[in-house]
Every structure is written in structure tokens, then in C-alpha cells.
Structure 1
Amino acid sequence: MLDLLLTRRSCRKFEDKAVEAEKKEKLLQAAQLGPTGKNTRPWEFVVVEKKETLQKLGDCRQPNQPFLPKTPLAIVVLGNTQKTDTWIEDVSIAAVIMQLEAEKLGLGSCWVQIRLRESNQGMSSEEYVRKLLGIPEYMAVLSIIAVGYPSGTMPAHQLDEVDQAKIHTETY
């Protein structure tokens, strides 16, 4: 796992190549196998591949997200607020697991924060995405995970980036 974490970097440039159905399925399976408080599993996902919709998703944030219209796959990560008060934590874990699975499958990914952000359309990012995709009010929009085959590579992280001063034993 440490090797996977060292090589995983946010990817904002993707090849013009679709993500295969079996890889999409693995991403969504992996996301749903993560732990949740009291096994509530409050996550749901909207898979977006249509160029027209991806283009509109690019306006979900202020400033805009110019790589979203160019990604072959965007997975909108939702949390059912009626199921649990830990939906943010539970759904965040699912999104991170999805990103790690993407790395394992040779795909790049980037988290686009939606919760508590503003769109280019004079409304919250969450409201914009909810209206665009027909998401019901009780489903909170946490993030969008852009996924595709990376165009180029970035250098891996190094273990010397780990700051031992941030680790405390027994007390702060």
C-alpha cells in the first residue's frame, strides 16, 4: 500500500481514451467496500461520460475546473444525509478508496471539492451539480472524482516528505 501512496498523484491531464467498463466497475466496487460508521453505507455515485455533461461540470467551481470537460470519466460522489450524521467521513473514505483503486488500475484521478464551494453560476457548487444531474435534496454532493488514463507522469512522492514532527506519542 505504501508504494501505491508514493506513486499516486493528482492527475488533471488525460488521454482521449475511454475508461473500460470493467475498470469503471472495479472503481465503483472498491468505493463501496470501504468502512462506514454502523455499516450505514450512505454513498451513491453518478457516473458521467457524456461530453456535453462533462463540459457543464467544468463550471461547477469558481474558478472553473478546465480539466473536467477533458476527462473521459467523472464520478460524482454523493452522501445520503438521511442515513447518518457521519456521511461526510463515510463518503470521503469511499472516494479515496476509489482513487487508490484507479491508481492500481493504471488510471489517474483528481478530487474536485464540491461541498462548501461556489460555482461560476452564482450558486453553490453543490446546488449547481444537483440541478445539472437531477440529484434529490437529501443527497449531499461531496466531490467529483475525475478519472482517466494520465497524459504524462509526475514524479513519485518520497518518504522524506513524511514529517515525523507531526507524530505525537501518548500526548501532544
Structure 2
Amino acid sequence: MIESRYRLIPQFTLKDEDGNDFSWKNLLGKYSVVYFYPKANTPGCTMEGLDFTKLIDEFNGNVVGISPDSCNAISSFKSKKGLKVKLLSDPEKTVAEQFGAAKDGKLIRSTFIVDPWGRIRKEWLKVSVNGHAEEVLEEYRKIIQEDNEINDSILLRRALRGVRPDPVDDEKIEKLIRAAHLAPSCMNKQPWRFIVVKSQENLEKLHTALSEGNYWMKHAPVMIIVYTDDELGCQLSDRRNYSLFDTGTAVGFLLTQATQMGLIAHPVAGYDPIKVKELFGINGIVITLIAVGYWGNIDILNEKHTAVELGDRMRKPIEEVCKII
């Protein structure tokens, strides 16, 4: 089951205008509009159906109308009015109630935009038909455009060093670890391991393992030791140790989540891994240390790091790192 801040569509199966089954699975993998209307062949419902039909190509054909009418009634309605939307019969208003488009047995004219993951991204209840299809199309286009942009947290994320010493709530740290723990892994082995270092005593111990260039990390209120071991992951042909790949993927998830939450999460390679293992009783490979905290303590940085901190983000040209063949 998808965990999301958006409501998921109910898992339903209804009959369409031809008497064939149409289920929630038919909505997956594409952007769709699902609208509920009270009764076929009435003026408002006819206008609504015709308005969506006029714009059907703009919706890529993915518009579904649901009413309590029988299959025969919606078939006649579709044929008589020349509608191009898919019509479904929900005689008991069960699916309407699951969507929130019916109350006390009465259907509420409603519209929902559903994304490829089955999430309801926008809803209208107690719809006024005039101009409604155009309004839905505007929102439909906006959602698709936003979804096709690079994730804003990925755009914002940088390896920032100006970390404030202000404490970070345990709840936020737990959320970072939960995000990392949702990463994919070979055969779902989940080989990543984390030690969250927060106490001053343990932070000072960890500071002794840092390289000179990572002086700024000593201001971080939280540091996360990320490690794994060969036996925790898949060992595949041609020396492919997937515990390393999987753990790196988990760190990527953590960094993105931290950026969304307004936190610096800066992983480093500059430390003595043997000393870190000895200090904290770790068996395996210490992949990285991640400094976590809030941004803004730029005055602690040396001249070189200040210039990097406030300068442009540097990336090689896409053509240098990717070929499409």
C-alpha cells in the first residue's frame, strides 16, 4: 500500500455501459478524471457529459463518469448524446460513498483527478456544471506539468557546511531514517544500518575520527553513522556487492527528505573508518558520516568553503555522464 499525504482511490469494480467490468486498476498508470453525476439524461448531467466530451482529447481520453443509473440507462445516454467518456453504473452508490461523493444515500455531484499512483490529487464537491470541465482541465494540466518537473528537494539539495548547533527534534531524525528505510534493495535485504549520534559525549568521540577538512561538522547537533556489511546484502557476479549500492540509495532518500524538511544532511568521506568502528563497536563497512542540522552558520567556514557555500552549484554536462542509445 502506498503511503502518501494524498487520499488513495478505493479498490472498486463496476460495470460499464457495455456491461463489462471496469476496476480501479484501469485508472493506474495514467492521469484520469472521475466524476459522479446524479442521473442520466437530465439537463445538468447532459451538459457535464458533453463538456467533458468536447475536451476528451485534452484529457487523453481518460474521463470516467459514474452514476446510480443501470447499464442499459448509461448505454442509452452515451449513445443518444454522443458522449465519449467512459460511463459506469454504481446502483447502490457504494463507490460514490467510498469516494465521498454520496452522503445519507444521496449522490453529490463531484469530480476527482487521479494520478498514475491512484492518488486523488484534486477534488470538487457540490459541483456547479457551468465551466466546470474547463476548470478541471486547467488543474489537470497543472498537476501533470508539476509532476514532470525535477523534484524541488533534489534541485535545492546541496552539500552545505554552514550548520547551526541548534538541536533537531527526535521526531525529525526518525522521519529521516524512515525515509531512508523505504529505499529499494536487492531481494529486499535492506542492508543499511544507522547509528544516530546525538549526545555531546558521543559526538565528541566521533569528532576525533574526522579529517581536518571536516572541522565544520563539529557544530552539527546530530551525526549519523551509515554502515553495512557484505553478508547483509546480495553478492552477485562480477564482484557486485549490492549492500554498497543499496545503502547509497538509502542515503539518497535520506538527503532528499532532509531537504524537504529544511535540514542540512551532508554526507562525507573524510574520516578514519577504522577508528569509527572501534569507537562504536561496528562490524562491517562504514560507508559515510552524515552531519544533520539547520543551515545558516556560515561564519564558521573558512574562505574556501564560504565561496563554495554561496557559489553556483557545479555539475558536469549531461552529455558527459549519459548516453541515450
| Interval of TM-score (by shorter of Structure 1 and Structure 2) | 0.7 to 0.9
Alpha-carbon distance in 1 for matches of 2:182, 2:276: 25
Q: Is residue 87 of structure 1 aligned with residue 243 of structure 2? A: yes
In structure 2, the residue matched to 1:100 is 256
In structure 1, the residue matched to 2:281 is 134
Question: What one-letter code is carried by the residue in structure 2 that aligns with 1:18?
Answer: P
Could you give the per-residue CA deviations for residues 33-56 of structure 1, whole angstroms, max 9, x where no partner exists? 001111110111000012232233
Q: Contact 1:30/1:97 (CA < 8 Å) preserved in 2?
A: yes
**Greater Cα offset, 28-37 or 149-158:** 149-158
Q: Structure 2 length as normaliser, TM-score?
A: 0.45
Deviation at 1:152, TM superposition (A): 5.6
1:113 to 265, 269, 289: 269
**Displacement over 3 Å in runs of 4+:** 61-64, 152-158
In structure 2, the residue matched to 1:122 is none
In structure 2, the residue matched to 1:169 is 324
Structure with higher RCO (Cα < 8 A, 6+ apart):
1
Alpha-carbon distance in 2 for matches of 1:66, 1:52: 17
Q: Contact 1:7/1:157 (CA < 8 Å) preserved in 2?
A: no
In structure 1, the residue matched to 2:212 is 63
Q: Is residue 54 of structure 1 aligned with residue 203 of structure 2? A: yes
Gaps of 5+ in 1: 120-124
Q: Relative to 1, partners in 2 of residues 1:59 and 1:169: Cα closer, same or farther, differing over 3 Å?
A: same
Query: Percent same amino acid among aligned pairs?
Result: 28
Q: 3-state SS of the aligned residue for 2:195?
A: strand
Could you give the per-residue CA deviations for residues 130-168 of structure 1, whole angstroms, max 9, x where no partner exists? 011111x2x22100111001116856967x956232231
Alpha-carbon distance in 1 for matches of 2:158, 2:219: 18
**Greater Cα offset, 55-64 or 19-28:** 55-64
Q: Relative to 1, partners in 2 of residues 1:28 and 1:156: Cα closer, same or farther, differing over 3 Å?
A: farther
State the superposition RMSD in angstroms.
2.3
Alpha-carbon distance in 2 for matches of 1:128, 1:68: 17
Q: Relative to 1, partners in 2 of residues 1:33 and 1:17: Cα closer, same or farther, differing over 3 Å?
A: same
Alpha-carbon distance in 2 for matches of 1:163, 1:149: 30
Could you give the per-residue CA deviations for residues 50-70 of structure 1, whole angstroms, max 9, x where no partner exists? 223223323324435212221
In structure 2, the residue matched to 1:148 is 293
Deviation at 1:2, TM superposition (A): 3.0
